[in-house]
Structure 1
């Protein structure tokens, strides 16, 4: 079907159709499906319904691109397309041929299952999470893989022996008494990296906010910068922040639209250099992304491929007093609320003996001095109100009780 065609011309109700899930459901959006199937490997991706050979843009050497293209042309199955991944750079024909044969065997398995399968049914599983991560990110730069589970340890060694035998030796089985995440310092890094702010060595920090439509990152210097050459100091902070932003986007797997508010710079050369450095810092990011130049307001727009929800790890709890807003009602407004409720209660219970429970700070305020609020209320209403502190109350929380210690509901 071409772009101007209609889906109902080729697809009817109750037709079976072979699809692949490309994207997990995110928030209110459902999963994304495609009929353009791909079978991924470590170096290559096989495309059964295409005959195009594509080379990763990250392989920049023209001679290497040509070598890989000619090599794949000679070993690919007839009428199959192949996407050559960045990891294939420099690989020998034997490595690539072995992977092509493995992926073609998977496709043959899918076709066999289709003949007897009854929809809906899953025809091919993705690799387990550990193996798929290793397949996608394992490089020669890895020097250690530490595992605390015996079964996973053996599974990883088995998988590595098939895709990268030289790296089997870097797998280690952790048997220490401490939690593996604590022993290797991962817990500390998680707590310092996944909060609302990310601090850098210079004292500058990022504030990272999320909305349904976009993500916003604000760059702050964190201290008073030198006045001798403030423009250069601002530029240095922005450069350091750009590197940390690229790291945070990968670490949290933030996707979609990202707006970065850098500290304002006047020098046009500094602005161009910042964009250039930002692109360099994100060069090794596996997710597809686009970086636009700075706007006249100093804002940089980044779009980054979002295949799954961003990683959110809560390292702090919402304040029970302000509900995370950072603000609470002024104490004078709280007094107004208490007195309004007191008036309402005394309309139906004149001269009643009441108890008011509040946070200790508020109790100290109400009972301070010779003529306390309780005396003031007694003279105004002729009713006695004893004020008591309740340490487990929120700062702005209060409740009235009668002489029998029954709470007076004001709902």
Structure 2
């Protein structure tokens, strides 16, 4: 069972996702700073750089968007030229182009954009120009994968692409086809606005934070939604009715006297989970350090001495740490290169057990990740797609006294 706990303020909305009582995702959306990812813009090419195989596109924000050559070519690999053309053969300065944001502005970099358009729905992801059908890897039953693949081929139009999402497993064909029809109509509206607009202009903005989580992770049959705003609760009910007709969303309006995050134990978990040093239930610990290029996680036995032997103690600590690290990577929304310094183990099987435990935990994550493997120095290397700044950045700021080598904790209920 999952719980979505939502705290609403005039200028921002905070959302916490709980699984079996544990905090697994946290997100903040400010009214003046809506997430750009997923939004469509009509932009104007302001610079074409053959040496970088990229172009910069003005979409109306402070920093121009970055458009790489691979994101200009056809989204289907089989329809791309055998030899990659130069970016200046595809785009020219002053050209108007419709793009979709795939990465938020990070640090000194502007947003990254693509022409490989995708519109996610409840059951499917619609790709107007991709010309293929794919099924989520998390759908494991072979007969169900075949059914969804065949259904996708039946309901798509020529040239269109569809990804069958995990939640489409065992879903009725009419519901999936209806979802596709809504997304197809949404794409028509975007095209119509693009034809009528001058660059730069916003053509389509992705859903609000609450609506995105309802669409992507919420099961109305067994999950729960608590919101401390009657207005937002009503909007959530209307949204689910729109995307999943006949579904009953168990929305509860929170009327408690204390802060909703405090009432559900979220504040206490956040203070623990966003600390530099996180203590494991066994007494061991994991320490997080972040640089511009990568995140480093160090595992220690701490006070845990409970194994039958040193190897047993170390392995148990590492297994617990792997499970917790997978959850915290998802919660903190860590992206890029991640290096984990597990405690040294002698047996290859124990090292594989740790990798398996980490991969099992990260399989629950909606953001694409990959466990690369052990380095020659005995460190475990993994990567996770970086879409926006880490969530932990919301709760710290550089320290003026030490010129940014330390952080000031801003975590707390406001």
Question: Shorter-chain TM-score: what band?
Answer: 0.7 to 0.9
Of residues 316-325 and 61-70 in structure 1, the stretch that sits farther from structure 2 once superposed is 316-325
| Alpha-carbon distance between aligned partners in 1 of 2:284 and 2:189, rounded to the nearest angstrom | 54
Whole-Å Cα distance in 2 between the matches of residues 320 and 114 of structure 1? 49
CA-CA distance at 1:89 after TM superposition? 1.3
Cα distance, 1:321 vs structure 2: 9.6
Give the length in aligned residue pairs.
Answer: 326
* Pairing 1:42–2:122 present: yes
Aligned to 1:174: 254
| Stretches of structure 1 lacking an aligned partner (at least 5 in a row) | 327-411
> Does residue 1:124 correspond to 2:124, yes or no?
no
Cα offset, 1:228, TM superposition: 4.5
Structure 1 residue 58 corresponds to structure 2 residue 138:
yes
Cα distance change on mapping 1:81 and 1:229 into 2, 3 Å: same
Please name the residue that 1:209 is paired with. Answer: 289
Map 1:8-407 onto structure 2 (within 5 A).
Answer: 8-139=88-219, 142-164=222-244, 168-223=248-303, 225-226=305-306, 228-312=308-392, 313-314=394-395
Larger Rg: 1
Which of 313-322 and 203-212 deviates more?
313-322
Measure, in 2, the Cα distance between the counterparts of 1:237 and 1:268.
16
Counterparts of 2:127 and 2:402 in 1: how far apart (Å)?
56
Whether the 8 Å contact between 1:195 and 1:315 is mirrored in structure 2 is no
Shift in Å, 1:44: 0.9
C-alpha change, 1:67 and 1:132, in structure 2 (3 Å) is same
Unaligned runs of at least 5 residues, structure 2? 1-72, 74-80, 408-414
With normalisation by structure 2, the TM-score equals 0.74
Select the structure that is richer in strand: 2
For the residues of structure 1 that align with 2:128 and 2:184, how far apart are their CA atoms?
A: 9
Deviation at 1:284, TM superposition (A): 1.6
Distance in 1 of aligned mates of 2:157 and 2:185: 11
* CA deviation profile, 1:91-132 (whole Å, cap 9, x unmatched): 110110110100010111112222221111111121122101
The Cα offsets for residues 25-63 of structure 1, whole Å up to 9 and x where unpaired, read as: 111222111011111112211111121111111212111
Contact 2:284 2:304 in 1 (8 A): no
Residue 174 to residue 52, structure 1, CA distance change in 2 (3 Å): same
- Using the size of structure 1 for normalisation, the TM-score is 0.74
The question of whether the paired residues in 2 share the 8 Å contact of 1:263 and 1:298 is answered with no
Distance 1:231 1:316, change over 3 A: farther
Deviates more, 1:105-114 or 1:8-17: 8-17
| Aligned CA-pair RMSD | 2.4
Structure with higher helix content: 1
